[in-house]
Each structure stands twice: as structure tokens, then as C-alpha cells.
Amino acid sequence: MTRRERTVDVLIVGGGPAGLGAGAELAASGAGRVEILEREQTAGGIPRHCHHGGFGGHTIGGGTTGPAYARGCVAAAVRAGAILRTGVTVTGWAGPLTVDTTAPTGLERITARAIVLATGARERPRSARLVPGSRPPGVYTTGELQQAVHLHRQRIGSRAVVIGNEPVGRAAADTLRVAGLDVVAMVTDQPSSRLAALTRPGDRTPVLGRTTVTALTGRERLTGVAVRHHDGRTTTLRCDTVVFTGDWIPDHELARRGELALDPGTRGPAYDAAHRTTGTGIFAVGNLLHGVESAGFALAEGRAAAAPVLRHLTTGAWPTGRTPLAVDAPLRWIAPNLIGPDGGLPLRGRFTLRTTGRLASPLFVVRQDGRELHRQRLLLPAVPDRAFHLRADWLDRVDPHGGTVRIAVR
């Protein structure tokens, strides 16, 4: 086998906002040769096909569009001096800090002094959600739909049902309308959100809350989505297109094949506030850590990881025996989920959490080995489709030799 063997200082796997943010910051800080590998032909990640506003801005509808945001991230990384290579796929590990790649230009084996994984997240497809029924064409995730419409201008169908009522689901509905489809309903097993209706006054799409999909029907083409309401009523929504939205899972193949410990909640690599995984010299950033937060959050994480990467390049130090963080149901996950020995705080001094069910003004209790470390009430409700946060100023109370720190909610 002929593989070209090379070494770099920092290898970043994934050219979405997180990887590009890390690359820009590292290259600008004099980390040496910083190389970003992107398997798609164009870098920029998922924002490339999100043709809606809100990127880079905090108000709904503000900021710039996804493609413009993606181009901005790419330009910043290249301007800073990072080497960005597209159409290059990392296919596996050949050593603790060595990967094999495939590209049209050939096969390589690249060894780095530090590796930053930024492989992102994807939506769970219909099969992974175990939705029964037939398997006709016309079944999409938001990611596939947006690429089909915005990148390839493909014909989709005429009547669509969207499964999900979170921001991603509403982006899917917008894309369907751009493609000329009628969105006949949005279906969610959660109570339908009144907030969503208030923020989108022109949107008259019926939202079926507390409703589950029981089957897809159709052979040559999708003919309908069978649903069951919480009160037991069943019906079939006639449509030729269905989009399964949200339900993100980190794209963790490389992390798992590298035998990094995964967090059971996020399904991404376990990591500490310095973005260190359990693999020495391997950092992780962006939605690989928590499918899924905003592009802006991923970019900020990428940038924030640069300082610890530089520190590691200088000292070679790597922590062992970090204290894990875990959540109790109905909380889904917390990120970061390891506590480093050096007292570093996560981005913006707070942890990010998600819940599986709505919590009205929840009271969080942080404990280690039965000892209470922190208690904090959230004034706004916590809802499943949005991140909420927990202050991190109690970290100095953690016993580094103690057991798992658990976050419960009352």
C-alpha cells in the first residue's frame, strides 16, 4: 500500500464552523502547520445549505444566512493561515495521533502533535427512530431535504408532513415551501409550543402536538403518515413527502474507532472544559460534543479550544482521572461532562444542558458523594428543543478524588 506519510502540528477533522473556528484561532496564534480536512467538496458544514437567517445573530431572523456564514467561517480560517483541504476523508486511525485519509489526489497517513475532532452531528433518520411501515421514496431528514432543494434544486413532491416542531423543523417547513410543497401538518410528540406560533405569526401550518407517528404508507411513493394522538384517536395524513427533523446524534464514528470514551447522554466524546477527550492529544469541538447547538456556539467552541491546544503543544501535559459529570432524568445530557484538574471553566462560565420533558422553573441540585455543591433555580421553563445553562462557579468545591458529580432537578 502506498500512502504518502506526512506530519503536521495540528490536524483538524471537519471543516464546519467548529473546525474552521479552531483552525483560524490556532493558525493566528502561531501553532505551526494547522491543517483542516473536510470530506465534502466545499467547506462550511451544515450552514452551507441552511438558506435562512439567524446565523451570527441572537434575535430570530436576524444575522446572516447560513451559506454566507459558512463562507465567512472559511474565509476567516484561510485568512489566518490554516491549510484547508476539501474532498479529503479521514477513513481511520493508524496510531494514537495518526490518521489515514482518502482523497482524489491519493492516500495519505498524517501524524499530528494534536488532533481536533470537529465531525459534527446528523439527524437520526426514520429507521433509527424505529418508525414502522413501508419504505417508499419521499422520506427525508432536514439535512437531505435542504441539500436537495438548495444545493441540487431537485423536485421533491407536492404535499408534505414535517415530524418535529423545533427550530429545525420550522426550517424544514420553510424549505418545503420554497420547493413549492404544501406543508399539511407538523407533528410532534411534545405539547405544541405557543411560543413558536407567536414568533411566526404568518405561519398557519397546523401543529399536531402530543401525537406520535405510527407508520408510513405507500409503495412506489409515500402516500401517508399514520399518527396517533395522545387521546387515542388515529388518523392518516395524506402526503407524498415526510421530513424527520431534529433528533440529533453526534457523528462519532472516528471518536469511537479511536476508542475515546463517550458520554452516555450526548453520545459524543466525553470532554472537559478545555475540550480534552480521553485520548491524549485529542481535542473535540462543536456538535460532535452535543448534537445540536447553534453554528455560532460551535464556532465559539472551536475558537475557545485553541488556547488549550496551544498549551498542550507547549507542555505536553494531559490530565488523568478526571471526575465525570452526569445528569438524572428527565435531564438528557450536560456538556462538558468531565471536570479537569486545572479548574478551567467552560465557555461563558456555564454548562449547557438539555431535557427530555418540559420543566417549569426547575431547581437544579448538584451533588457529589451525597454532598451538595450547588443549587440554582431557573426562572424560565426548560423545554426539550432548547439548551439551558447551569453556572459553573461551584467547580472549586468538587473533590477531585471523589465520585461522579450528579445534577438532579426538582
Partner 1 sequence: MSPTITTAGELTADDLPGTRPDGGQGAPVYDVTVVGAGVVGAAIARELARYRLRTALLDASDDIGNGTSKANTAILHTGFDAVPGSLEARLVREGQQRLRAYAAETGIPVERVGALLVAWDEEQLAALPALLAKAERNDYHAARLLDAGELRAREPHLGPGALGALEIPDESIICPWTTPLAYATQAVRAGVHLHLNCRVRHIDSGDDVHTLTTTRGTLHTRHLINAAGLHADELDRELGHDDFTVTPRRGQLIVFDKLARGLVGHILLPVPTAAGKGVLVAPTVFGNVLLGPTAEDLDDKTATGSTADAITMLREKGRRILPELLDEEVTAVYAGLRAATGQEDCRIRSRPDRRYIAVGGIRSTGLTASMAIAVHVMELLGDSGLDPGTPSELPPVTMPNLGEAFPRPYQDAGLIAADPAYGTLVCHCERVSAGEIRDALTGTVPPHSPDGLRRRTRAGNGRCQGFYCGAAVRALFEEART
Binding residues (CB under 8 A) for partner 1: these are 1-3, 39, 87, 89, 91, 102-107, 122-128, 130, 132-135, 137, 140-141, 143-144, 147-148, 151-152, 154, 214-215, 217, 219, 249, 251, 253, 256-257
Quick one: 219 or 311, whose CB is closer to partner 1? 219
Quick one: 14 or 362, whose CB is closer to partner 1? 14
Alpha carbons 43 and 20: distance in angstroms, whole number:
9
Residues 6+ apart with CB under 8 A from 38: 14, 15, 19, 84, 85, 86, 87, 88
Q: At how many degrees (to 10) do helices 17-28 and 66-80 cross? A: 20
In the complex, least distance from residue 410 CB atom to partner 1, rounded to whole angstroms: 29
Residues 6+ apart with CB under 8 A from 58: none
Quick one: 49 or 276, whose CB is closer to partner 1? 49
Q: 221: closest CA among 134, 118, 280?
A: 134
In the complex, least distance from residue 40 CB atom to partner 1, rounded to whole angstroms: 8
- The dihedral built from the CA positions of residue 188, 191, 197 and 198, taken in this order, carries a sign that is negative
Helix (H, G, I), strand (E, B) or coil at 171: helix
In the complex, least distance from residue 102 CB atom to partner 1, rounded to whole angstroms: 5
Give Dmax over CA atoms of the chain in angstroms.
Answer: 63
In the complex, least distance from residue 191 CB atom to partner 1, rounded to whole angstroms: 23
Q: Are the beta carbons of 177 and 145 closer than 8 angstroms?
A: no
Alpha carbons 379 and 75: distance in angstroms, whole number:
40
Quick one: 53 or 133, whose CB is closer to partner 1? 133
Quick one: 65 or 217, whose CB is closer to partner 1? 217
Q: What are phi and psi of 53, to 5 degrees?
A: -80, -175
Q: Are the beta carbons of 97 and 112 closer than 8 angstroms?
A: yes
Residues in the chain: 410
Quick one: 154 or 356, whose CB is closer to partner 1? 154
Alpha carbons 284 and 201: distance in angstroms, whole number:
39
Quick one: 152 or 204, whose CB is closer to partner 1? 152
Alpha carbons 118 and 400: distance in angstroms, whole number:
28
In the complex, least distance from residue 126 CB atom to partner 1, rounded to whole angstroms: 7
Quick one: 128 or 329, whose CB is closer to partner 1? 128
In the complex, least distance from residue 200 CB atom to partner 1, rounded to whole angstroms: 25
Quick one: 2 or 320, whose CB is closer to partner 1? 2
Alpha carbons 228 and 233: distance in angstroms, whole number:
6
In the complex, least distance from residue 214 CB atom to partner 1, rounded to whole angstroms: 7
In the complex, least distance from residue 205 CB atom to partner 1, rounded to whole angstroms: 23
In the complex, least distance from residue 152 CB atom to partner 1, rounded to whole angstroms: 5
Give the E-state strand segments of 130-271 in sequence order. Answer: 139-141, 159-163, 182-187, 207-208, 211-217, 224-229, 234-238, 241-244, 248-250
